[in-house]
Amino acid sequence: MIEEIFYFIQLLISITVHEFFHSWAADSLGDPTPRLAGRLTLNPLAHIDFFWTILLPILLRISGSPVVFGAAKPVPFNPHFLKDKKWGPFIIALAGPLSNFILAIVFSFSLKMLVYFNGGFLNSSLRIIALFLEVGVMVNVILGMFNLIPIPPLDGSKILYVFLSSSGRIQLAELERVGFVLVALFLFFAGETFWNVVEYVLSYLLPRSF
Report pLDDT digits (tens) over 17-54: 999 999 999 999 999 999 999 999 999 999 998 888 88
Q: Is residue 133 part of a domain?
A: yes
Catalytic: 19?
yes
In a domain, 210, yes or no: no
Domain hosting 103: range is 2-205
Res 164: pLDDT: 93
Burial status of residue 73 (CB atoms within 10 A of its CB: 0-12, 13-18, 19 or more): middle
Closest by CA to 183, choosing from 146, 142, 137, is: 146
**Position 210 confidence tier, pLDDT thresholds 50, 70, 90:** low
Structurally, the chain folds into a number of domains equal to 1
Q: Kindly tell me if the per-residue pLDDT of 70 is higher than 80.
A: no
The distance from CA 107 to its chain's CA centroid, rounded to whole angstroms, is 15
The pLDDT tens digits of the residues spanning 84-96 come to 998 999 999 999 9
- Choose the catalytic residue: 4, 19, 174, 176: 19
| pTM listed for this prediction | 0.92
- The whole-angstrom separation of Cα 136 and Cα 141 is 9
Q: How does pLDDT run across 105-150, given as a tens digit for each residue?
A: 999 999 999 999 998 889 999 999 999 999 999 999 999 999 999 9
Among 104, 95, 50, which Cα is nearest to 72's?
50
Beta strands, E only, the chain: none
